[in-house]
Amino acid sequence: LTIQGTGLFEGTRTIDYTIAKAPLTITADSKEVTYGDVVPTYTVSYNGFVNNETKDVLSGELALSCAYDQFADAGNYPIVASGLTSNNYKITYVDGNLKVNPKEIGLEWSTNLEFTYDGEAHKLEIQGTLPEGVEVTYTPANEYTEKGVYDIEASFVDTTGNYIVPSNMEATLEIYVSVKGISLNETSLRLDPTDSYTLVATLDPINPTNDEVIWTSSNEDVVTVDQDGKLVALKVGIAV
């Protein structure tokens, strides 16, 4: 206060002062979690304290509220601060944001991709249990009975928005027929040197997945055999 003038003055004068509250902003800190996470600890940041003052000069009790709870849907949830007062600060609250991200789930095929033909239908399985709201579609199908090799594609859709799923997964299902036995058209032969004879092998069942027959001779100095089952006698002796 400055009084200017000349001469003497006697008496009193009262002057009223108004000291405005200093602005103080209390901002709820934004957070980020993944679907299914527990509720995080909410915090705030202060901006506007003067004279090195801190939150300790404020009255009341800080309250932070948010509609999120564990397993709430993915999305954004306001974080609202309230509850503090002050004679010296004009408090403005600014909401924060809690972002709940979708949860990425890893999906794998079951380890059983091959089956022995038994007349029953077989299909591939996804390991574990799909979360509720995650749907799978198989193309062209996922159930086969006959011998063969089948390429299958699984496509996933999340109807909840809470998960990140693979767009598709590919696998091959094979149903094979095993050889149970083999028989020959001849079980004993007598050949003279330079004679030849072709054996015929019959597989049981007749339509196995692998129908290759490998021919060998126990004594190639006596008899040779090619991969078509043709025997050629070379000299006197015994061979199996």
Give the pLDDT confidence of 52-105 residue by residue, as tens digits. Answer: 999 999 999 999 999 999 999 999 999 999 999 999 999 999 999 999 999 999
Instruction: Note whether 207 and 191 are within 8 A (CB).
Output: no
pLDDT tens-digit series, residues 20-38: 999 999 999 999 999 999 9
* Token pair in block for residue 36: 């299914």
d(CA 32, CA 111): 36
pLDDT of residue 5: 61
Backbone angles phi, psi at 172, to 5 degrees: -120, 125
The sheet carrying 223-225 orders its strands as 196-198, 230-233, 223-225
Per-residue pLDDT at 121 exceeds 80: yes
How far, in whole angstroms, is CA 85 from its chain's centroid?
Answer: 48
Residue 199 pLDDT exceeds 60? yes
Identify the bridge partners of residue 91 per DSSP, sorted by sequence position.
24
Q: Where are the beta strands (DSSP E) in 102-180?
A: 103-104, 114-116, 134-139, 148-158, 163-164, 168-176
pLDDT of 13 > 80? The answer is: no
Res. 7: pLDDT tops 70: no
Flag whether pLDDT at 1 surpasses 60.
no
Beta-bridge partners for 80 = 65
Distance in angstroms (rounded) separating the CA atoms of residues 238 and 220: 10
Mean pLDDT of the chain: 92
